[in-house]
Amino acid sequence: MEYLIKNQCHPAVDQIFIDLQSEIPTLSKATIYNTLHLFVEAGLVRALNLDDNETRYDIITETHGHFKCNQCGTIFNFNLGIDSMTTEKLARFRVIDKTVYFKGVCPKCLLSVNLNNRKEQN
């Protein structure tokens, strides 16, 4: 839990394992998976399935949106009035989770792409 509080970068299990392995040599990925599962079940952590092949973990459990940069892979949080979002077509449904997820290129990577394009033009 301390790791997730200090590293609010939406880490995946592999990243958590790499970062904590030297500090806790007996740590296994199974322990990380099991612990994260308990945290998710208790509502302390949110599991994000932004891509089909990877689950990331978010210590911020309040409803908010996510933006993932296609260039660097960084996931950014943004505030959104998602709780007020409804649709008539779901009136008879019970919504359990609301997720807003955007993909694109972050400002840092856009700047890098623009700089590289200028160099190529010169």
> What are the Cα distances from residue 15, in Å, to 6, 53, 93, 121?
13, 14, 37, 38
118 phi/psi in degrees, rounded to 5: -65, -40
pLDDT in tens, 6-51: 999 999 999 999 999 999 999 999 999 999 999 999 999 999 988 7
Specify the pTM.
Answer: 0.79
Q: What is the pLDDT of residue 120?
A: 65
User: What residue ranges do the domains of the chain occupy?
Assistant: 2-83+96-121
Return the CATH class of domain 2-83+96-121: mainly alpha
Maximum distance among all Cα pairs of the chain, rounded to whole angstroms: 60
